[in-house]
Copies of this chain bind each other. A is one copy, B any other.
Amino acid sequence: PAFQDVHVMIFVGFGFLMTFLKRYGFGAVGFNFLLAAFGIQWALLMQGWFHSFKSGKILIGVENLINADFCVGSVCITFGAILGKTSPIQLLVLTLFQVTLFSVNEYILLNLLHVKDAGGSMTIHTFGAYFGLTVTRILYRPNLEQSKDKQGSVYHSDLFAMIGTLYLWMYWPSFNSAISDHGDAQHRAAINTYCSLAACVLTTVAFSSMLQKKGKLDMVHIQNATLAGGVAVGTSAEMMLTPYGSLIVGFISGIVSTVGYVYLTPFLESRLHIQDTCGIHNLHAMPGLIGGIVGAITAAAATEDVYGKEGFIKAFDFTGAYQTRTPSVQGGFQAAGIVVSLLMAFAGGAIVGAILKLPIWGDAAAENCFEDDIYWEVPEDEESDVYHMHSPDKPDKP
């Protein structure tokens, strides 16, 4: 069941979240579908080679499928930054490389550093977001204003995007708890995530209204910033964060994310030349960093009193070679995990961005960005005519 929930998030959640553009709905849902289906297969192979390669055969279980979904989740995040500006071939090449780098990064964090990251604040969100931001920086298009008129939403496209938002929001507790140990840790992860998300909605609405002229709400914030709470407890959700701690984390990440959309995204675009279509810096990068830091602090502050002796060892897997690790050392390793993820993202993003910049992948001209018509057979739309057919005061054929 947790697997199905995560699956819905990847395909419906991320797919529809990105349909907000007025003429890029086919691309958002369709390319997301394509890269997710391709990425999952490739991720299953990568995982097989890294983790469960036995006598020439790869064993596939449901847990592998969840991990493959997680891996693809980070590609979907990156897709958000470059949405509307790349060709399907570029997306497949990107997926190929990113899944590989994700697996390497995950292997370093989980196996070498022995870091806990059940909801993937570091491995999925921080890595995926900064990777995507680096790629979009390298693919910088100076003439993107030519398609500025298509970079907005229309009424119905915003409603389609809300389908994505609601599914991501509802299933995020499953996402953060999917690979936790069954029982206590899983329940804890789900409930902490839940509290954080609920708090995040409130601060997002409050700040969206406060930062806007005339106090109107902005649909972009409701669609995105409400989810930051889930990202920001990704690492710490299965730890003893307590509901109050979760509420505070959700509270803060809602503010950070909304403020980011209002002030930081325009700044990134005009000064640093980072064209971030979906604003993943606000939804994944910053909350991901918050999540990593909160995780490190929560781990460092862990005591046997709170977890119980057995629960303590189980929560952090302090067994075998890690038997003598203390909470504060674990906190240090968690922090190291953030740094490693960032370095991998910047280095990997730079290399993959350079590869995607090669003029052989058939990407669209700047004036055709955010436009389905380049890659899709778009129906010749006579909708307006159809709409008029019932209104008596407007003759259909003048």
Are B205 and A88 neighbours in the complex by a CB distance under 8 Å?
A: yes
A164 CB to nearest B CB, Å: 11
Question: Interface residues of A, CB < 8 Å — how many?
Answer: 86
Are B153 and A205 neighbours in the complex by a CB distance under 8 Å?
A: no
Q: Contacts of A155 on B, CB cut-off 8 Å? A: 23, 25, 378-379, 381, 383, 387
User: Which residue of the partner chain, among B4, B37, B162, B391, contacts A201 with CB atoms under 8 Å?
Assistant: B37
Q: How many copies, total?
A: 3
Are B166 and A29 neighbours in the complex by a CB distance under 8 Å?
A: yes
Q: Which of A75-83, A97-105, A310-318, A369-377 contacts B (4 or more CB under 8 A)?
A: A369-377
Whether A96 is near chain B, meaning CB under 8 Å from some CB there, is no
In whole angstroms, how far apart are the Cα atoms of A174 and B12 in the complex?
Answer: 17
Whether A354 is near chain B, meaning CB under 8 Å from some CB there, is no
Are B19 and A159 neighbours in the complex by a CB distance under 8 Å?
A: yes
Q: Contacts of A153 on B, CB cut-off 8 Å? A: 379
12 additional contacts (CB under 8 A) given A19-B159, A33-B226, A219-B376:
A11-B170, A16-B163, A22-B383, A37-B197, A58-B243, A88-B209, A88-B217, A154-B381, A217-B375, A217-B376, A381-B387, A381-B391
In whole angstroms, how far apart are the Cα atoms of A154 and B218 in the complex?
Answer: 23
Whether A382 is near chain B, meaning CB under 8 Å from some CB there, is yes
Are A41 and B170 neighbours in the complex by a CB distance under 8 Å?
A: no
Are A26 and B219 neighbours in the complex by a CB distance under 8 Å?
A: yes
- Given A25-B155, A159-B25, A160-B159, answer yes or no on A212-B379 (Cβ-Cβ < 8 Å): no
Whether A336 is near chain B, meaning CB under 8 Å from some CB there, is no
Are B390 and A380 neighbours in the complex by a CB distance under 8 Å?
A: yes
Are B154 and A41 neighbours in the complex by a CB distance under 8 Å?
A: no
15 chain-A/chain-B pairs, Cβ below 8 angstroms: A11-B170, A12-B170, A16-B163, A34-B202, A37-B198, A40-B198, A149-B382, A150-B386, A154-B381, A154-B386, A158-B379, A216-B376, A216-B377, A373-B390, A381-B390
Whether A65 is near chain B, meaning CB under 8 Å from some CB there, is yes
Q: Contacts of A247 on B, CB cut-off 8 Å? A: 41
Q: Contacts of A189 on B, CB cut-off 8 Å? A: none
Whether A191 is near chain B, meaning CB under 8 Å from some CB there, is yes
Are A170 and B391 neighbours in the complex by a CB distance under 8 Å?
A: no
> Which residues of chain A from 144 to 175 have any CB-CB distance to chain B below 8 Å in the complex?
149-150, 152-156, 158-160, 162-163, 166-167, 169-171, 174
Are B387 and A218 neighbours in the complex by a CB distance under 8 Å?
A: no
> Which residues of chain A from 1 to 33 have any CB-CB distance to chain B below 8 Å in the complex?
1, 4-5, 7-8, 11-12, 15-16, 19, 22-23, 25-26, 29-30, 33
Interface readout for A45-74 with B: 1 if CB under 8 Å, 0 if not? 000000000000010111001000000000
Instruction: Count chain B CB atoms within 10 A of each CB in A26, A197, A392 and give the residue with the most.
Output: A26
Are B384 and A194 neighbours in the complex by a CB distance under 8 Å?
A: no
- Given A65-B194, A171-B4, A378-B390, answer yes or no on A34-B205 (Cβ-Cβ < 8 Å): yes
In whole angstroms, how far apart are the Cα atoms of A391 and B11 in the complex?
Answer: 32
- Given A11-B166, A60-B191, A166-B11, answer yes or no on A222-B380 (Cβ-Cβ < 8 Å): no
